[in-house]
């Protein structure tokens, strides 16, 4: 258990306890100019000035879980909680100087509390948190389906299907601020058209995905519902695709009894399929986990089914099964006329 106490540091001093590189990243995201090798205390002062000037940036940068945890800590000063359950939130909040976690003690920065308490407790902030979480879930769902996000393309999909007043500038600004605490991808800038790109760390070869998108220009983006994007985001990229429940049950009964390990096996297979690994390579990899020939055959059938029903990065979120059906429909078209 960690005891929650008041810190004696100022807000700037709290920020300055972060590594220099972290402070430089925050300065960059906040648009605060800095010099290479600039001292931590100087960088921290620039971050504090930006956040004091625009407190709404705190809501845009921190994820909802982190803000809710901060509000909880503010109300629990003097009490204890299980810090291990909130390590991600603690990391984010320390990054922005709101607290520190040392020797089983959570130290609340009182200057930050005095400055941001009412703005973070306001009704408008609660609405903004929900709006940003909604947008974050949509983007994470897209990331799990497409592998690489062209933020301009994402903006069009979101505006046309979910949030009518979404603009590219607003979406880019949100990504630039929130990405500080996203660990799922890499932020890039297309030097040709200056578009922002966010690439998943689960993509084995980004260039290969771009090349296949270029080759398959006739394939449009597979658009999912907002709820489907959200469900995928919350399920760590494992959708309820045809064959997933059966594969999960088979692994649980025949390969691994630990639920977490089973999910890791399912996740690894899904990512391999999305990256374009061949069905033959997949079956060879996973059937080695079994000795029984009958069980190996069953596993092969399950893998081959998922091979067709799991969306593929290079196919812009489509499944192989969908494109095969579409190709068949185009190949055999009904000719009007003839005898009735």
pLDDT digits (tens, 9 = 90+) for 216-262: 888 999 999 999 999 999 999 999 999 999 999 999 999 999 999 99
Strand partners, 105: 3, 102
Q: What gap in Å lies between CA 68 and CA 85, rounded to an integer?
A: 14
316 part of a folded domain: no
13 part of a folded domain: yes
Q: Give Cα separations from 331 to 215, 219, 310, 326 (angstroms).
A: 20, 16, 24, 9
Q: What gap in Å lies between CA 96 and CA 29, rounded to an integer?
A: 12
Q: What gap in Å lies between CA 93 and CA 71, rounded to an integer?
A: 11
Domain count, the chain: 3
For residues 99 and 153, membership in a common domain is answered with no
Contact by Cβ (8 Å): 59, 125: yes
Two tokens, residue 84: 């291990």
178 part of a folded domain: yes
Task: Report helix, strand or coil for 31.
Answer: coil
Q: Give Cα separations from 285 to 199, 245, 255, 289 (angstroms).
A: 26, 20, 13, 8
236 part of a folded domain: no
Q: What gap in Å lies between CA 294 and CA 304, rounded to an integer?
A: 16
End residue of a domain, out of 121, 140, 168: 121
* pLDDT given at position 289: 87
For residues 181 and 203, membership in a common domain is answered with yes
Q: Give Cα separations from 58 to 132, 160, 193, 196, 211 (angstroms).
A: 12, 28, 30, 22, 38
Q: Which residue has the tokens 């903006």?
A: 155
For residues 153 and 108, membership in a common domain is answered with no
Name which of 229, 310, 319, 318 is nearest 271 in CA terms: 310
For residues 255 and 214, membership in a common domain is answered with no
237 part of a folded domain: no
For residues 117 and 143, membership in a common domain is answered with no
Contact by Cβ (8 Å): 206, 148: yes
| Residue 265 domain boundaries | 244-310
End residue of a domain, out of 121, 143, 175: 121
* pLDDT given at position 338: 46
For residues 295 and 184, membership in a common domain is answered with no
Which residue stretches of the chain have pLDDT < 70? 328-340
For residues 110 and 138, membership in a common domain is answered with no
48 part of a folded domain: yes
For residues 96 and 166, membership in a common domain is answered with no
* pLDDT given at position 40: 97
Q: What gap in Å lies between CA 271 and CA 274, rounded to an integer?
A: 5
Contact by Cβ (8 Å): 95, 14: no
* pLDDT given at position 327: 72
Q: What gap in Å lies between CA 51 and CA 308, rounded to an integer?
A: 48
For residues 61 and 147, membership in a common domain is answered with no
CATH of the domain at 158: 1.10.10
For residues 106 and 11, membership in a common domain is answered with yes
pTM to 2 decimal places: 0.89
Q: What gap in Å lies between CA 133 and CA 136, rounded to an integer?
A: 5
* pLDDT given at position 335: 52
292 part of a folded domain: yes
Q: What gap in Å lies between CA 307 and CA 329, rounded to an integer?
A: 21
For residues 117 and 137, membership in a common domain is answered with no
End residue of a domain, out of 61, 88, 121: 121
Three-state secondary structure along 40-88? HHHHHHHHHHHHHHCCHHHHHHCCHHHHHHHHHHHHCCCCEECHHHHHH
For residues 9 and 49, membership in a common domain is answered with yes
324 part of a folded domain: no
């Amino acid at each position: 258990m960690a005891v929650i106490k008041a810190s004696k540091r100022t807000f700037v001093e709290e920020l300055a306890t972060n590594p220099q590189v972290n402070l430089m990243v925050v300065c960059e995201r906040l648009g605060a100019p800095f010099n290479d090798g600039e001292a931590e205390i100087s960088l921290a002062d620039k971050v504090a000035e930006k956040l004091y000037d625009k407190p709404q940036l705190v809501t845009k940068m921190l994820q909802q879980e982190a803000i809710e945890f901060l509000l909880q800590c503010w109300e629990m000063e003097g009490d204890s909680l299980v810090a291990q359950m909130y390590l991600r939130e603690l990391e984010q909040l320390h990054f922005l100087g709101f607290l520190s976690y040392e020797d089983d003690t959570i130290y609340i920065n009182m200057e930050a509390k005095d400055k941001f308490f009412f703005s973070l407790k306001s009704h408008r902030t609660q609405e903004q948190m929900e709006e940003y979480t909604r947008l974050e879930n949509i983007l994470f769902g897209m990331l799990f389906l497409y592998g690489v996000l062209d933020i301009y393309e994402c903006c069009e999909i979101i505006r046309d299907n979910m949030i009518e007043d979404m603009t590219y500038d607003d979406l880019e600004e949100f990504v630039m601020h929130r990405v500080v605490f996203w660990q799922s991808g890499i932020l890039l800038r297309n030097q040709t058209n200056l578009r922002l790109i966010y690439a998943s760390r689960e993509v084995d070869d980004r260039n290969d995905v771009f090349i296949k998108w270029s080759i398959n220009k006739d394939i449009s983006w597979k658009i999912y519902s907002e709820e489907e994007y959200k469900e995928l985001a919350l399920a760590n990229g494992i959708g309820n695709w045809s064959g997933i429940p059966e594969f999960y049950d088979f692994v649980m009964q025949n390969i691994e009894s630990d639920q977490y390990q089973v999910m890791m096996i399912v996740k690894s297979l899904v990512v391999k399929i999305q990256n374009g690994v061949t069905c033959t390579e997949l079956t060879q990899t996973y059937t080695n986990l079994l000795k029984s020939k009958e069980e190996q055959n069953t596993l092969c059938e399950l893998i081959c089914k998922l091979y067709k029903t799991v969306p593929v990065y290079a196919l812009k979120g489509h499944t192989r099964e969908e494109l095969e059906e579409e190709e068949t429909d185009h190949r055999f078209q009904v000719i009007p006329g003839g005898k009735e």
